[in-house]
Structure 1
Amino acid sequence: MHDLVQNVLNSDEKTALRQFVSALNAAGKPYLLRNEILQVFADYCQRSHKPAYFYHSSSLGTLISLTHEIILEEESTWFMLRPWIANQEVWRLGADMTHFEKLTPKALLDVRDRLVNRYQPQILEIDLKPFYQGAPTIDDPRNIGQGLTFLNRYLCNQLENDPKRWLEELFQALHKLQHGGTPLMISDRLHSGDELALAVKKALQFVSELSPIEPFEKFRFDLQSLGFEPGWGNTAGRVRETLEMFNRLVSDPEPAILEAFVTRVPAIFRVVLVSIHGWVGQEGVVGRPETAGQVMYVLEQARSLEAKLREDIKLAGLEVLGIQPKVIILTRLIPNCEGTACNLRLEKLQGTENAWILRVPFADFNPNVTQNWISKFEIWPYLESFALEAERELVAEFRGNPNLIIGNYSDGNLVAFLLSRRLKAAHCNIAHSLEKPKYLFSNLYWQDLEDRYHFSAQFTADLISMNAADFIVSSSYQEIVGTPDNMGQYESYKCFTMPNLYHVVDGIDLFNPKFNMVPPGVNENIFFPYNQSEDRDKEARSKIHELMFLREDPSIMGNLENPKKTPLLAVAPINSTKNLTGLAECFGKSKELQEHCNLILLTSKFSPEQATHPEEAAEIEKLHSIINQYELHSHIRWVGIRLSNMELGEAYRAVADCRGIFIHFARFEAFGRTLLEAMISGLPTFATQFGGASEIIEDVDKFQINPTDYEGTAKKVLHFLDECDANPQYWHEISTRAIDRVRNKYNWSLHSKQLLLISKIYRFWDYVTPENREARARYLETLYYLVFKPRAEKILEQHMQR
């Protein structure tokens, strides 16, 4: 970057830089973000009659393209540059334009505080960087999110470089395996790595003489005499394969062999999925609209994990010990549950043998609050007491400690942090949708937003849990570090200020191998292709078709003038991020779209009176206003009725029956569960280019859309319709491609296999790594008690006045 900066200052482009800064000042905003910066530069180039190359490839043009923030002060212009993904640099340009100076992140945090008139010279600085030093690190940004692959290679290199030491480490790790006090895989007959290696050769010779299908129980005691306990396999053939993997791993370590061996190691039996605020239930209770996606994710993940654990236990030969897996979804019990099952302490998860929803009530600090549903922004004061009570309940249900605790969302991960510390379980952090990057400048103006959103507690909780976790699971690469043009969700926690509260100098190591991309699946019993006719209910099909296109109802707006036009479907809760108002306006402004399509909006609410907060009410009112403004009543169907999952699956298929299209017009989407549901139903799908959704959609040019570009979006949809008119098979080709994409990459079986493998690798990693995890955990506990807890207590004070 230094050479680029000097090229600007030491050439004729210095004049252009001076003029550009003047243009920035003329814009009248002291703080500009990337899109605004690029627009000002484009306008400057046009006014100054600069040649096209100047905008794209001059030194100044390159500098501007790497600039994500500019702050204007009287004596300085501050540039926050992002030379490449996951890397940020701070540069200050003096008023005399004679020098660019590279400064520390702390200097940028100070100037941000000054910008909002909340600067103070002495402030708490949070810096996690020292706790990651000395640990192996990923060096290529393209490999961020592939922690499992990195660790496999790293561990195999260690085995190769120091085989004697690592054989002993493997022995110790296997020797610790047990369930309920019963040893697994190896017994106390073996005392060292060398003895284990020798015993493996003897065991291989023994099982090679048996029939591959010989059941384990027939030769169990012969293996025990050699020092081996159950866990190697359920047949002689599988035991032999596992022993051969270990033998090969010791003699010729390769990542693929390590992964295959670790997959077979029985180390996970009891799993907790923590989902606190989501109104967690089953039939007709799958979350509130804003949390339905998370609740469905957790329910489906639990079913899939339980099935995978059961399969692994059987294949490992552990049925002879009577071992059964158990999965618990931990959530809160809500006494005033509006007729749902959310006041039941324990509920079996449908479709499983031993997975349960365990509900623990919040302590009754104030029954007027705690006996009702509590917003995700207000829940913080109750989490510590909840975790303590949940600990007792979990140990009683499991009759022991869990092996793995998976946190979901910010509050669930904070509880997972508290539980995993006390129960000595592995902590997996999953937070597909972090609030901080959703709300622009939410950290900078946190004090103005505190009464409504309590971001000080939430962002502190995020910092604690993401750093405390043994590993982090994301659905996409962009969720972690974004793109060259946009920061990722986790990257937004790297360096930020909460004026008058603290500075985060280094909040997360993005190159640490704790990050892993493990996308979710979709429930294929509910969401399946429209042409899978044998699985569709004729009565339900007819009922949903009438609802989507014909039925009159107080919660449905619009009577379609021509129901045979191509249906353009959107399914989303009504909020500013999902941007249904933007989609309606895009549709309203395009007469061509109206000529070719009907817009179908499927939401769970229809009137402002149904809203749970003012922002939602405002969006509902705005949507009504846009429909009236553009007179869309004969071109639109707004179905404001909450459908069950089965009905929703049929709704997608009803649109696919009509050769329709699905469109996801969100301003930002961390991943996009509805995309998977629509695609596997057979719908050609257009989705926002901002966020992880863009990784689901393969054809960037044709099916990724910019929700701020109404004209461009309309052109892409119309071009697709033209292609369908020119080639009658084109819709079917895209439909089939969408179905195959989801089935091959986004399925729960693959998700569970990867998640359990990662859990096992990281358990071994925790055992052998030199990284100082305990020191980091102590530091995070300090932040919890000295920063988070006082902020949560302030919320409780407000609640006690209700």
Structure 2
Amino acid sequence: MRDRVQDTLSAHRNELVSLLSRYVDQGKGILHPNNLIDELDNMVCDDEARIRLRDGPFSEVLKAAQEAIVLPPFVAVAVRPRPGVWEYVRVDVSQLSVEELTVSEYLRFKEELVDGPSNDPYVLELDFEPFNANCPRSTRSSSIGNGVQFLNRQLSSNMFRNKDSLEPLLDFLRVHKYKGQALMLNDRIKSVSRLQSALLKAEEHISKLPPETLYTEFEYTFQGMGFERGWGDTAARVLEMMHLLLDILQAPDPSTLETFLGRVPMVFNVVILSPHGYFGQANVLGLPDTGGQIVYILDQVRALENEMLLRIQQQGLDFKPKILIVTRLIPDSKGTSCNQRLERVSGTEHTNILRVPFRSEHGILRKWISRFDVWPYLEKYAEDAASEIVAEFQGFPDFIIGNYSDGNLVASLLAYKMGVTQCNIAHALEKTKYPDSDIYWKKFDEKYHFSCQFTADVLAMNNADFIITSTYQEIAGTDADV
């Protein structure tokens, strides 16, 4: 990007200086994409000069720019040339010099808007890159939003190159249990070669049965070959599952691996976190911090329960799933059910709202408080919620889903404590609602406590095993937006 700006200086020096001077004349501050383009349109020059600049390399920089930081005589521009890729350049308008900046250098320059220049060599800086940074990381924009497919490609590639990589899969299938019942494989199968021969033998036997034959009709024979429940409820589904595993053992490929792993029974108990607001099924809409997220999560758990019931049935199991929406118990509940510890979700058989109160050294907090004021209570809340969850499940959940900044942070604390998979749902994050709040957070901190919230977002998002968004644009933006 530095070269593109330098090329423009060489070819259209006067026009570019005029444009950059317009930015500098506005004084220090942040310019957004529309401001950058507007100044180009408002330049005082002949149409031919404006067209030359608009069609030049710097125009490409402006079209991809997400913001510019102006600290006279400098203009620094953050550019996203394509999704997932950022570049930073700074121009000294007085000297007409151009330099490329690292992320840290750009952020330090941006902070000078508020804090002024700093020569303190002892400033503590923390790099909150994803905590699982040793995992495979995509370098292509096309992989954004396709994390599962990307990881399956990596895993299947390792399996194809190194057959020893199949051993962890075998070990998992051999020890996999739920409520003390072995699933998938038993101790008769002790090696990958033994698994492959057992699969071929079972395939020969099951292929002779009518496709609709129930698993219970051949369970005893199946078990004698080294297989336990979890492969399917009918001969057809068991056979399909075995074909998938045989294909993986012979020549792993991403789609086959994804399909197989997606059908292995692993998720029976799920926790969904949404601590703030009045979370209930009646008389809550319109109350503070309580709105569409209630409907969203209630719809989510109904669909999730139906999907879990269907999958468990098709896996040939008779377990019942359990889903807990963990939220806050509010003793002074204003005529709602938010003072009830446990409440069944209407339209479901196995889903409940579990309410746990906020507590401090002074006891239980009885009244509602704003979502901006919950931060001092969340660590203790996570400890109390962990005990309640274990009591309800008679064990740990298989999966924890966080919602919103506070729910994502509690999900991180619980997932770390329990050693289970964590998913965050990236919606309603406050930084996107308040323009430039990432740099001017001190102005809002007394009221909104952004210092706590933004830190919680960074910790929770980096700690998550995966993150769900509604659209690709939430991750990578569009051609016009961040």
Where on the TM-score scale, by shorter chain, does this alignment land: which range?
Answer: over 0.9
Residue 115 of structure 1: aligned partner = 113
CA deviation map 1:394-446 (0-9, x unaligned): 11100111000000001001000010111111000112121112111212122
Q: Is the 8 A contact 1:266 1:313 kept in 2?
A: yes
CA deviation map 1:580-622 (0-9, x unaligned): xxxxxxxxxxxxxxxxxxxxxxxxxxxxxxxxxxxxxxxxxxx
Asked if 1:467 is matched to 2:466, the reply is no
| 2:376 maps to which of 378, 381, 396 | 381
Call closer, same or farther: CA 1:57–1:132 in 2, change over 3 Å.
farther
1: CA distance between counterparts of 2:64 and 2:399? 41
Q: CA deviation at 1:308?
A: 1.1
2: CA distance between counterparts of 1:234 and 1:71? 61
| 1:446 maps to which of 438, 441, 448 | 441
Residue 318 of structure 1: aligned partner = 317
2: CA distance between counterparts of 1:180 and 1:186? 15
Residue identity matched to 1:363: R
Q: Is the 8 A contact 1:333 1:359 kept in 2?
A: yes
1: CA distance between counterparts of 2:316 and 2:131? 40
Q: CA deviation at 1:143?
A: 2.7
Identity between Structure 1 and Structure 2 (%): 40
Residue 219 of structure 2: aligned partner = 220
Residue 32 of structure 2: aligned partner = 33
Residue 359 of structure 2: aligned partner = 363
Residue identity matched to 1:88: W
2: CA distance between counterparts of 1:280 and 1:168? 45
- State the SS of the aligned residue for 2:47: coil
Q: Is the 8 A contact 1:278 1:294 kept in 2?
A: no
Asked if 1:401 is matched to 2:396, the reply is yes
Q: Is the 8 A contact 2:324 2:352 kept in 1?
A: yes
Q: CA deviation at 1:366?
A: 5.1
1: CA distance between counterparts of 2:286 and 2:237? 42
Unpaired stretches in structure 2, ≥5 consecutive residues: none
Residue 406 of structure 2: aligned partner = 411
Residue identity matched to 1:71: I
Call closer, same or farther: CA 1:117–1:257 in 2, change over 3 Å.
closer
Asked if 1:337 is matched to 2:333, the reply is yes
2: CA distance between counterparts of 1:169 and 1:286? 49
Q: CA deviation at 1:286?
A: 4.9
Q: Is the 8 A contact 1:92 1:100 kept in 2?
A: yes
Q: Is the 8 A contact 1:177 1:185 kept in 2?
A: yes
1: CA distance between counterparts of 2:172 and 2:56? 57
Call closer, same or farther: CA 1:340–1:131 in 2, change over 3 Å.
closer
Residue identity matched to 2:379: E
Call closer, same or farther: CA 1:117–1:249 in 2, change over 3 Å.
closer
Residue 242 of structure 2: aligned partner = 243
Counting only pairs closer than 5 Å after superposition, residues 399-798 of structure 1 correspond to structure 2 as 399-487=394-482
2: CA distance between counterparts of 1:67 and 1:240? 54
Counting only pairs closer than 5 Å after superposition, residues 39-188 of structure 1 correspond to structure 2 as 39-44=38-43, 47-50=45-48, 53-54=51-52, 56-120=54-118, 121=120, 122-129=122-129, 131=131, 133-162=133-162, 164-188=163-187
CA deviation map 1:207-226 (0-9, x unaligned): 12222222212221211111
- State the SS of the aligned residue for 1:433: coil
2: CA distance between counterparts of 1:80 and 1:89? 6
- State the SS of the aligned residue for 2:355: strand
2: CA distance between counterparts of 1:87 and 1:241? 41
Residue identity matched to 2:277: G
- State the SS of the aligned residue for 2:430: coil
Q: CA deviation at 1:28?
A: 4.1
Q: Is the 8 A contact 1:54 1:61 kept in 2?
A: no
Q: CA deviation at 1:131?
A: 5.0
Q: CA deviation at 1:84?
A: 2.3
Q: CA deviation at 1:379?
A: 0.7
Q: Is the 8 A contact 1:180 1:400 kept in 2?
A: no
Q: Is the 8 A contact 1:407 1:416 kept in 2?
A: yes
- State the SS of the aligned residue for 2:432: coil
- State the SS of the aligned residue for 1:126: coil
1: CA distance between counterparts of 2:95 and 2:175? 64
Residue 278 of structure 2: aligned partner = 279
Q: CA deviation at 1:158?
A: 2.1
Residue identity matched to 2:84: A
- State the SS of the aligned residue for 2:373: coil
2: CA distance between counterparts of 1:74 and 1:459? 29
Q: CA deviation at 1:95?
A: 4.0
1: CA distance between counterparts of 2:109 and 2:254? 47
Residue 253 of structure 1: aligned partner = 252
Residue 10 of structure 2: aligned partner = 10
1: CA distance between counterparts of 2:130 and 2:330? 42
Call closer, same or farther: CA 1:64–1:156 in 2, change over 3 Å.
same
Residue identity matched to 1:172: D
2: CA distance between counterparts of 1:50 and 1:440? 35
Q: Is the 8 A contact 1:94 1:100 kept in 2?
A: yes
2: CA distance between counterparts of 1:411 and 1:464? 11
- State the SS of the aligned residue for 2:327: strand
Residue 201 of structure 1: aligned partner = 200
Q: CA deviation at 1:29?
A: 4.9
Q: CA deviation at 1:47?
A: 4.1
Residue 191 of structure 2: aligned partner = 192
Q: CA deviation at 1:141?
A: 1.4
Call closer, same or farther: CA 1:414–1:355 in 2, change over 3 Å.
same
Q: CA deviation at 1:260?
A: 2.2
Residue identity matched to 1:406: I
1: CA distance between counterparts of 2:65 and 2:212? 63
Q: CA deviation at 1:348?
A: 0.8
- State the SS of the aligned residue for 2:372: coil
Residue identity matched to 1:382: Y
Residue identity matched to 2:102: T
Residue 293 of structure 1: aligned partner = 292
- Size of the aligned set, in residue pairs, is 480
- State the SS of the aligned residue for 2:299: helix
Q: CA deviation at 1:462?
A: 0.2
Residue identity matched to 1:326: K
Q: CA deviation at 1:113?
A: 2.4
2: CA distance between counterparts of 1:418 and 1:78? 38
2: CA distance between counterparts of 1:66 and 1:242? 47
Residue 18 of structure 2: aligned partner = 19
Residue identity matched to 1:69: E
